[in-house]
Amino acid sequence: MGMTDIIPLIVAKYNYWLFVVLMMIGLYAMIAKNNLIKKLVGMNIFQTAIILFYVSIGYKSGATLPIIQNVHEGHGHAAIHAADYINPLPHVLMLTAIVVSVATFGVAMALAVKIYQRYHTLEEDELRMRLSEK
Amino acid sequence: MNNYPALIVIAPLLAALFAGLAVWIEDRLSYYIAILGLAVSSFSALKVLIQVIESGTIQYKMAGWDAPVGIEYRIDLLNAMVLLLISGIALFNLIASYKNVEQEISDRKGSFYTIYLLFVTGLLGVTATGDLFNLYVLIEITSLTSYAMVALSDKDRGPLASLNYIFIGVIGASFYLLGVGYLYMKTGSLNMMDVADIIASQHDSSTVLVGFILCMIGVWIKMALFPMHVWLPNAYSYSPVAFSRVVAPLMTKVMVYVMIRLMITVFGFEYIFNTLHLSEAVVWLATIAVLAGGVLALAQDNLKKILAYIIVCEIGYMVGGAWLGNQSGMTGAILHLLNDALMTFALFLGLGNMVYMLGKVKLNNLQGLFSRMPWTMTGFVVAAFSIVGVPPTCGFFSKWYLISGAFEAGAYHFAAALIISSLICAILFFKVFEICFFQSSPDLQGQGHGHKFQVMAEAPVSMLIVSNLVSFSLIVVGVFSGTIVKTIILPFLQGI
Amino acid sequence: MKFFGFVVVCLVGGLLLYGTADFPDWGDPDSPASTHLSDIYIEHAFEQTQVPNIVTAILADYRGFDTMFETAVIFCAGLACFLLLRDFKERKERFYRHVPTGVILHVKNSKKALRVGRDFEHIDKDWIPSDLIIKTVCRILIPFIQIYALYVVAHGDFSPGGGFQGGVIFGSSLILLAISYDLKILVRRIKEKVLGICAAAGVLVYVGIAAICMPMGKSFLDYSALEMFVFDPHHVRALGMLGVEIGVGIAVAAVMAIIYINIVSEGRHDEGL
Amino acid sequence: MNTILSIKPLLAVLVSLLVIPVLVSSSDRPNVRESWIFIAGTITLLIVLSMLPVILDGNQLALTLFEIAPGASIAFRVDGLGMLFAIVAASLYIVTSIYSIGYMRGLKEHGQTRFVSFFALAISATIGAAFSANLLTLYMFYEILSLATYPLVTHHQDTKSMISGRRYLIFILGTSIGLVLPAMIYCYHVTGTLEFSTAGIFSDQLSKPAATVLLLMFVFGFAKAGIMPFHSWLPAAMVAPTPVSALLHAVAVVKVGVFSIIRVMTGIFGVELLSTYNLGVVVMCIASFTILVGSCIALSQDELKRRLAYSTISQLSYIIFGVALLSPQGLLGGIIHIVMHAFGKITLFFCAGAIFVATGKKYVSQMSGLGKKMPFTFTAFFIGALCVIGLPPSGGFYSKWNLILGTLEAEQSIFMLVLLVSSFLNAFYFLPIVYKGFFEKSNEEDENMPVKIREANLCLVIPLIISAIISIVLFFYPTVFVNLIKVGLAI
């Protein structure tokens, strides 16, 4: 594969590769970090990566955001060209996904608060030590 | 217009919201609202099941839009059955739970019932929907509610268990979401039937393959297939017993349903078994899950934990059965889905009675239980035998199909694992029974006669009736399993 | 754990990258995702729903069922935070500040809160003197933010926006109040009960509008069944969407406030940021 | 041969099942409770007997309850073999229930309601096993029986019974789940049916090695039959109260095991297939080993009940041995030994129990001189012993005679030696007890004892007299049972 092939490939796919990298970062933080808040941050990165992925699917080169322009002048669908607007569906889906991730994050924060109330630490190894003492 | 399919899901949702209002107005009302909501839901589910048996698959268009554009409910024999199962179990559990809730979370009853209803709504929605993304949203509702519940009961370990559950749950759900995204990439659609039609011509695409794997891993994490099970035992044993009684039988089973639905409706047997050749590996995984679940259960000293690990073991049954790739295996998996939900429910009902009377259910708390709580133990014993697989309880018959499916597929290791796990379960339960039967509890001994004259201290009647009724239903379902297979499962499998 | 995490991450990353090999190019207008359903929505949404913002049309109508559950998720999160954190026990340690002199009184172990007159105020443990500028600016800003929130809700049909966005903005105005003054002001202004009822009622508005369609003879969420309730039957779908968006807005704003209050005060609703 | 649809087999099973709630509800009125047991037992026996004429005419009664899968259903079918077994079980149930009333009250045992309830459940399962139309149903009742007898075996709820109970479960459940279940499902997988039929269900799907493995799985899997090395639960289970040992471990439980093996050999494999592959000899070797070793061990046991237990182990293998001969005479001798041994052995157990209740003595070495004080008991013991050894004038002679003829008929005369040697051994371990009882003087310390030893109460003595008399009657009139076997196996 020569240089000439690689550049178009990068241009065509870099968004998707980026999302994979972002997701790996988030996942790693969730698995390997010791601090619960850091894990939560990792979780957020992880979920954001998915949002990036979906929104990337929705992009269409040469198209604009999916709000029909000039509705009052040009009635009827003859005036609407699908190619002019980007794909609205992934945006809708991601609105939902964002809400879900916010909700999850809220509950997770509440739990973190509870854990901190009880043990005054959020480091996982310390928590585990405290629990095994009992 | 036949609105029953929507009503199955909407009734508990509406009830949840009204119960949420009642929290601030009159806390006691929430219980009756919940009962009403679930009763309507169960009734609708029954109606729908009858309709589906009589006249075939029902499609219900949400907001009136046709399928790929809008979201549809597509209710065929399989999910009609599962819907009835879920709403019925949720209703019965609610009846049995009144006292448990009074005892454990009396100051926040209203919130508890609201969350409970939302959880059931989520399960019902997951089962009814024909849309891949809608499925995700509802999975998240069930997860979110169970996170909250897990944290509630045990002050020490609950929150941490719940937080770990969140991490794993989010990974699972996100994998599923990613899988759906990969499929969307190649199909542009989210409707299951539509996606299935489009990917039928793209079987060699690596994107579809990865999408499939991601969906499966996501669902497996959510159903706690070994080795992705680590969250389950903690999560289930720390939640309030009224909640663990519904989450334990239903959550994993619904995920198994999702797996079967994805395999059958979206990807198709042709793709999974003839193009991919993954089935052998998965059956091995299931074999290991069955054995590992049993062995881990042996190591526990808390009854709640034992039951939780038995769930891990049972999941292996269903995953393995579904992936054997033949009709008997799939029949067994579906039948076991039904049976296992009932068996686990019956076990947890017994457990709930014990928790109510004893507080703790470590094994050495259970001494003399046969004389103290004979009715509870009757139900519990029947359920335990069903798990072991003693005919005529239902557990035997699904195992029957699973093992003959394993023979048919030549997966002798899976058959062996099933039999070994039966034996392990027998050992487990008799370990418990021996404590309950032979040892007398120190605090309740009568006047110098030892265990022979122990005081009876039974759980309240409402709980006993439900637990014995459910245990009895194990036998009824068992002897009628032929009918269930003939009227529901086989027509479903032949219809695809 | 670190090594295990690394291996897992690499495996997952490899899998995902393998899957991208067969992706259509980024931004390719002919990819399946951009042609199959997308075209149907873009070409017919306005005609069918009279809403020019296609995202809103899909969100509240075509896939309104998803959105309903999404709102339920929000409600659920609020309820979960309340259930987990809310602690009705009063704190026994209290602080009072003599306003003219700035002397701080520390009361330990008092069963009841002291009644404070003009000269004293009840303060937090980690109290910092509030800045007059911040207070004043926020006091002026908050009403505008709230009006803007209403605008975002109402204008969701035509421009980016809608119930979620508007609700979040409204909720953040409440949070701003709590930050600039203190939490007690917010809690006193808007009672916990009101927030709780709003959260449930907001979702109920959504589900209710959707459910009314069933006895009207259409399927669930089919706004066209509501014709008899509106003055402008031509825009019945748009109006239905507006209705549910308002419900979403109420619920989201209330839940934002609930989550915030419970987390910062660790469930005691007395002091915090 | 006609197959008649009939609800009677179901009723026979249900009667003692349905009486359980009644028993539980009358737990504080022992007399009412016990009369219910008696009524249930009588009704069961009457129902069973009412089917007898039809069966003797060569008909079968059948009833399908639930179809689980095509070819596998829960169904009853009454044929000669099942009828024979059901008569034995039902008639001994009545006798034993009288006996157990006397025994349990005599010793003031605790938990009598639990005891009689599970007893009834066990009988119900036994009758169900007798009337099973297919292997699935048989397996079902087999398992129910295993579990229902567990609380009976462990009735004393002490450490000793816990350990015995554990051993009982490990052997019984372990083998049935671990061996029978897969073997059964494999049969179903190969043939698609589990119905018993005299021709067998396999046509030519099985190779010889597969058939051997499968047969061995069944023979060892039905561990209630006590084939070595899966026998050691039986002596362990003797910790149970004697009525349990008597009915269940001499008659119902062990015979269900043997009956299941017979059903599998004659109904699943079919005599023809077994003789084609020459598998009878394999089973015969296993059975012979158990016969001889069991008898030898019995010789060395001092505790009477354990001696009886080992005797049972070896006698059970006679039955299997007879069936494995695969010749008409052998089959006849083997199967009729179910009846003869049942009556003989239950008499012996009853005697052991009566001696224990009357004197508190469990060991053979303590029994000198008791015969004079308990003449009825020891006479009955003598008759029971004759029956088990196989000497005239007792029913045992008839079965052993036929077994010996069977070995000749099957041209396996080497195995005849096994039978003869074992019969000698039987005589060696039984007759000394009788001798001791009647002719030896009792030990000194016993004479010093102030308590006067005499016969146990009537509830104990009457049943053992009845069963002893029947053992003798069977020598003169075995016809009914012989006919049943001939009808059942079409020989």
Q: What count of CB pairs under 8 Å joins A to C?
A: 169
pLDDT higher than 80, residue C7: yes
Q: What are phi and psi of B62, to 5 degrees?
A: -70, 135
pLDDT higher than 90, residue D391: no
Q: How confident is the model at residue D443 (pLDDT cuts 50, 70, 90)?
A: low
A96 interfaces chain B, CB cutoff of 8 Å: yes
Read off the DSSP letter of residue A123: B
Q: How confident is the model at residue B446 (pLDDT cuts 50, 70, 90)?
A: very low
| DSSP β-bridge partners for residue D67 | D73
Chain D hits for B419, Cβ within 8 Å? 177-178, 181-182
Residue of B nearest to D174 (CA): B423
pLDDT in tens, D354-365: 888 777 777 877
**pTM for the full model?**
0.92
> Which among A31, A89, A102 is the nearest to C41, CB-wise?
A89
Mean pLDDT over B413-427 rounds to 92
Mean pLDDT (chain B, rounded): 89
Predicted pLDDT of residue B451: 44
Residue contact B23–C65, C-beta within 8 A: no
Q: How confident is the model at residue D448 (pLDDT cuts 50, 70, 90)?
A: low
User: By percentage, how much of chain D surpasses pLDDT 70?
Assistant: 96
For every residue of C241-273, which 3-state class applies, written as one string? HHHHHHHHHHHHHHHHHHHHHHHHCCCCCCCCC
Peptide bond connecting A90 to the previous residue in cis, omega within 30 degrees of 0: no
C218 interfaces chain B, CB cutoff of 8 Å: yes
pLDDT in tens, D226-248: 888 888 888 888 887 877 777 76
Length of chain C: 273
Predicted pLDDT of residue B447: 43
pLDDT in tens, D97-109: 888 877 777 777 7
Predicted pLDDT of residue B450: 43
> Residue B352, CB half-sphere, CA atoms under 13 Å: how many?
39
Residue B231 domain-assigned? no
For every residue of chain B, which 3-state class applies, written as one string? CCCHHHHHHHHHHHHHHHHHHHHHHCCCHHHHHHHHHHHHHHHHHHHHHHHHHHHCCEEEEHHHCCCCCCCEEEECHHHHHHHHHHHHHHHHHHHHHHHHHHHHCHHHHHHHHHHHHHHHHHHHHHHHECEHHHHHHHHHHHHHHHHHHHHHCCCCCHHHHHHHHHHHHHHHHHHHHHHHHHHHHHHCCCEHHHHHHHHCCCCCCHHHHHHHHHHHHHHHHHHCCCCCCCHHHHHHHHCCHHHHHHHHHHHHHHHHHHHHHHHHHHHHHHHHHHHHCCHHHHHHHHHHHHHHHHHHHHCCCEHHHHHHHHHHHHHHHHHHHHHCCCHHHHHHHHHHHHHHHHHHHHHHHHHHHHHHHHCCCEHHHCCCHHHHCHHHHHHHHHHHHHHHCCCCCHHHHHHHHHHHHHHHHCCHHHHHHHHHHHHHHHHHHHHHHHHHHHCCCHHHCCCCCHHHHCCCCCCCHHHHHHHHHHHHHHHHHHHCHHHHHHHHHHHHHHCC
Reported as type and span, the H/E element at residue C215 is none
Task: Assess contact for B90 and B125: CB atoms under 8 A.
Answer: no
Counting the structural domains of chain B, the total is: 1
| Choice among A48-57, B173-182, B296-305, D455-464 with the minimum mean pLDDT | D455-464
Q: Which of residues C126 and B391 earns the better pLDDT score?
A: B391
Q: How confident is the model at residue B443 (pLDDT cuts 50, 70, 90)?
A: low
Predicted pLDDT of residue B433: 87
pLDDT in tens, D7-43: 888 888 888 888 888 888 887 787 888 888 888 888 9
pLDDT in tens, C84-105: 888 877 777 777 778 788 788 8
Domain boundaries, chain D: 279-491
Task: Assess contact for B367 and B400: CB atoms under 8 A.
Answer: no
Task: Assess contact for B477 and B395: CB atoms under 8 A.
Answer: no
Q: Which two tokens stand for residue B208?
A: 């579809």
pLDDT higher than 80, residue D154: yes
* Strand, coil or helix: A114: helix
Beta strand pairing status for C94-98 and C120-123? Answer: antiparallel
Predicted pLDDT of residue A1: 54
Q: How confident is the model at residue C196 (pLDDT cuts 50, 70, 90)?
A: very high
Probe site for chain A from C9, C89, C266 (most A CB atoms < 10 A): C9
Q: Residue B283: which of B328, B324, B231, B228 has the closest Cα?
A: B324
In the stretch 131-150 of chain B, residues with CB closer than 8 A to chain A read 133, 136-137, 140, 143-144, 147-148
Q: Which of residues D1 and C203 earns the better pLDDT score?
A: C203
pLDDT higher than 60, residue B239: yes
Q: How confident is the model at residue A72 (pLDDT cuts 50, 70, 90)?
A: low
pLDDT higher than 60, residue B214: yes
Nearest-CA distance from A27 to chain B in Å? 8
> What secondary structure does DSSP assign to C120-133, as a single string?
EEEE-TT--PPPHH
C190 interfaces chain B, CB cutoff of 8 Å: no
| Choice among B71-75, D25-29, D177-181 with the minimum mean pLDDT | D25-29
Mean pLDDT over B468-479 rounds to 92
Predicted pLDDT of residue B445: 47
Predicted pLDDT of residue B448: 42
> Residue A93, CB half-sphere, CA atoms under 13 Å: how many?
29
Probe site for chain A from B144, B155, B164, B167 (most A CB atoms < 10 A): B167
The whole-angstrom separation of Cα D238 and Cα D303 is: 10
Residue with tokens 């808040």: A37
Probe site for chain B from D10, D189, D190, D213 (most B CB atoms < 10 A): D189
Q: Which of residues A37 and D344 earns the better pLDDT score?
A: A37
pLDDT in tens, D467-480: 888 888 888 888 88
pLDDT higher than 80, residue B192: yes
pLDDT higher than 60, residue D444: no
Sign of the four-CA dihedral D481, D485, D488, D491: negative
Domain of B321?
281-496
Residue of D nearest to B371 (CA): D111
C20 interfaces chain B, CB cutoff of 8 Å: yes
Reported as type and span, the H/E element at residue C104 is strand C104-107
The answer, yes or no, to whether C and D have at least 3 beta-carbon pairs within 8 Å is no
The whole-angstrom separation of Cα D470 and Cα D90 is: 14
Q: What is the largest CA-CA distance in chain C?
A: 73
Q: How confident is the model at residue A49 (pLDDT cuts 50, 70, 90)?
A: very high
Q: What are phi and psi of D5, to 5 degrees?
A: -75, 130
Domain boundaries, chain A: 3-59+84-133
Residue of B nearest to A121 (CA): B160
Q: What are phi and psi of B58, to 5 degrees?
A: -105, 135
> Which among B392, B415, B451 is the nearest to D74, CB-wise?
B392
Q: Residue B425: which of B297, B300, B285 has the closest Cα?
A: B297
What's the start-to-end Cα distance of chain A, in Å?
A: 61
Q: How confident is the model at residue A74 (pLDDT cuts 50, 70, 90)?
A: very low
Predicted pLDDT of residue B449: 44
pLDDT in tens, B362-398: 888 888 888 888 888 889 999 999 999 888 899 999 9
**Is A3-59+84-133 a CATH 3.40.50.11540 domain?**
no
